[in-house]
Amino acid sequence: MGRNLLKREQAITFVKDTFSTKLRQALNLIPVSSPLVVLDGTGINDDLNGIERPVAFPIKSLDEQRAVVVHSLAKWKRVRLRELDLEEGEGIVTDMRALRPDEDYSPIHSIYVDQWDWEKVISPTDRNLRYLKETVKKIYAVLVETEQAVEQQYPEKKAVLPSEIKFISSEELLQRYPTFTPKERENAIAKEYGAVFLYGIGGELSNGFIHDGRAADYDDWSTENEDGYKGLNGDILIWNPVLHAAFELSSMGIRVDKESLQRQLVIRHCAERAELAFHQMLLNDELPQSIGGGIGQSRVCMFMLKLSHIGEVQVSIWDENKKSNLQKDNIYLL
C-alpha cells in the first residue's frame, strides 16, 4: 500500500499546483503569508455560524492574552488588502490552515480545514450580482481546466464537469422544491445541472427560514440584488458522482459595506460587535470594498481524484475503529 499512498500524494500535489497557478492567473491574485492564530477579542476571526468554538489558549509573553486558531481568514484578508495598499482589480491568495473542533465527522468533513483563501479589491460600483457572477465563472473555468489536466495526467480520472455553471438564488431554489430540506434542494439542483452557484445564502427566505447560516460581518447576504432577491454571496456546488450528492467546493461573496454590516449585526442580534476593532475599521471607511472566498483544497483534490473520503487527501484525526472499517472497503486515510 505504501507505493500507492506515495502515488496519491504526488497526484494531490499535481492537483494543488495546477489549480492554484490557474486561479492566481484568472483572478489576478498575489500569494501572501497568513496567520494560523489571531488575538481573541479583535473581531478578526471568522465566526462561521456564530456558535462554533475556536481553539483558544493564553500567550505567556503577552500577559496571558488569549489567542484563537482561525476558523478561516474571511476578515483578516480584508485588513491585509489595506495593509498592502492594493488597487482595484488586485487581490491576494493564501494557503489557509484552520481547526474547527466542533465540526461533525463525515466523508467530507474533518476538524482540519485547508483552503485557498482569496480576497480582491473592487470598486463600490462592482457591488452587484453581475460582478459576482463574472467572478464565479472565472473560478469555475479554472475548475474545469484543472479537471481536464488531471484526466490528461491520470486517464482513469475521467472529467465530468459540465462546460458551464448554472446560477440560481436560494429563494428560487426553495420555490422549485418547496417540500425539500435545504440539503435535499442542493442535491436535486446539483444533480440536474452538474454545477451550480447557489446565491443569496444567509438571509431569511419566504418560508421564514434561512437556507444556511452565515456570519453577519463578512459576506453581504442582505442587500437586494438585480433579480429582486437578497444576497451577494453564495456557494459553488457540483454533483459528485462518487458520493452521489451535491458537493460544495467554495463559499464566497461580495463583502459587507458599512450599511449592510450594521443591518446584518442587528438581524443576527449581535450589534455589540460593532465596537470590535475590525468592525470599527469598516465603519470608519478604513477598509477597501472587496470580494473574496475560500476554496477547499482537500475538497478539490478529493473531487478531481474521484475519491470517496476527505481523509484520503488530508492528514487529520480520525476514530481508529472507523479507519479500520474503511480499510475493509479499500479506503485508506492518510
| C-alpha cell read off for 152 | 490528461
**What's the CA gap between 203 and 267, in Å, rounded?**
9
Domain spans, the chain? 2-328
Q: Which of 90, 103, 204, 248 is catalytic?
A: 248
Q: What is the pTM of this model?
A: 0.92
Q: Which of 72, 222, 251, 314 is catalytic?
A: 251
- CB burial readout 148-182, b (16+ within 10 A) else e: ebbeeebeebeebbeeebebbbbbebbeeeeeeeb
**For residue 322, what pLDDT is reported?**
78
**What's the CA gap between 174 and 186, in Å, rounded?**
10
SS3 87: coil
**For residue 112, what pLDDT is reported?**
87
Angle, CA of 143, 145 and 147, to the nearest 5°: 70
Residue 248 among the catalytic residues: yes
**What's the CA gap between 55 and 301, in Å, rounded?**
26
Task: Write down the CATH number for the domain with range 2-328.
Answer: 3.30.930.10
Enumerate long-range contacts of 208-213, CB under 8 Å, 24 or more apart: 211/170, 211/173, 211/174, 211/182, 211/185, 212/182, 213/48, 213/49, 213/50
**For residue 1, what pLDDT is reported?**
58
Asked if residue 82 lies in contact with residue 246, where contact means CB atoms within 8 angstroms, the answer is no
Q: Which of 24, 100, 268, 299 is catalytic?
A: 100
**For residue 51, what pLDDT is reported?**
64
Q: Which of 147, 217, 235, 257 is catalytic?
A: 235
**What's the CA gap between 215 and 264, in Å, rounded?**
9
Residue 115 among the catalytic residues: yes
| C-alpha cell read off for 254 | 461580495
Among the listed residues 135, 120, 118, the one whose alpha carbon sits nearest the alpha carbon of residue 88: 120
Residue 117 burial (CB count, 10 A): 26
Q: Which of 20, 72, 110, 115 is catalytic?
A: 115
| 131 DSSP 8-state letter | H
| C-alpha cell read off for 244 | 452521489
Which residue positions in the chain have pLDDT lower than 70?
1-2, 46-51
Residue 235 among the catalytic residues: yes
